[in-house]
Amino acid sequence: MEIQTRSADNVKILEFTGRFDTYTADTARQWLEQAMTDNPANVVVNLEKVDFVDSTALATLVHSLKRCRELNGDLRLCQLQQSVRMVFELTRLDRFFEIFAQEDEAIQAFAH
């Protein structure tokens, strides 16, 4: 899995590419840890190029979101592919994560 990072308006953006699963979750976790150093920790994870997530990947995102909230911030998801979106809907993790259609919407939501 490839990970690109950028930042905008005190928000760290991580863009993952490829399969996000048991085998790549550790790398993702390390990058997420690095993105969560500020207080408040505001992170957007762009999943546009992720075609598969398994439960370890979901657990990694859940852990990071909990951590962000401890640091007075939030972790938001955007641009989910249909298959990935379905996983969030079926597990009802869509009730836990704020999910946005576009990356800039996710970033702007931090301003409010």
Partner 1 sequence: MILPAIVASQRTHLDTLAKDWLDAGASSFSIWTDGVVLASWPEAPVDETACLIEAIQVNAVKIGELRITGLHAAAHCQRLQAQAGLIAQIARLERDLNSMGADLIDTQDQLLALYNLTQATRNYLDTEELLARLAFETARLVKAEAAFFLIHMKGRSPIIQHYPQPILNDEALQHYIELMKESQHEFLFSRGSSDQALGIRNMLMVPIKVRDAETAVMGMLNKFDGDFNSPDIKLAGAIAEFTGAQIENVIMHQMNTEQARLQTEMELAQRIQIHLLPQEPPGIAGLDLWAASWPASRVGGDFYDFIIGANQPFTFTVGDISGKGIPAALLMAMTRTVIRTKTKVMPMPSPQVVMGRSNQELYEDFTKLSMFATVFVGQYDSVNRQLLYANAGHSPVIYCPAGGEARLLRADGTPMGILPTSLSKDQWIDFQPGDVLVVATDGFSEARNAHDKEFGYDRLTLLVQSLAHHPARVIAENIYKTVSDFSNGMSQADDQTLVVLKGVGA
Q: Which of 1, 81, 85, 93 binds partner 1 (CB under 8 A)?
A: 93
- Part in contact with partner 1 (CB under 8 A); list of ranges 2-10, 36-44, 89-97, 98-106: 89-97
Q: Can you say how many angstroms the Cα of residue 59 is from the centroid of all Cα atoms in its chain?
A: 11
Q: What's the full length of the chain, in residues?
A: 112
Nearer residue to partner 1 within complex by CB, 68 or 107: 68
Rounded Cα distance between 84 and 71, Å, is 27
Q: Which of 7, 17, 27, 56 binds partner 1 (CB under 8 A)?
A: 56
**Per CB under 8 A, 110 contacts partner 1:** no
> For the chain, what is the largest distance between any 2 Cα atoms, rounded to a whole number of angstroms?
36
Helices and strands in the chain, H and E counts: 4, 5
Nearer residue to partner 1 within complex by CB, 74 or 103: 74
- Part in contact with partner 1 (CB under 8 A); list of ranges 7-15, 72-80, 90-98, 100-108: 90-98
CA atoms within 13 A of residue 65's CA, in its CB half-sphere: 18
109, 10 in Cβ contact below 8 A? no
Residues binding partner 1 (CB under 8 A)? 22, 54-56, 58-60, 62-63, 66, 83, 86, 89-93, 95-96
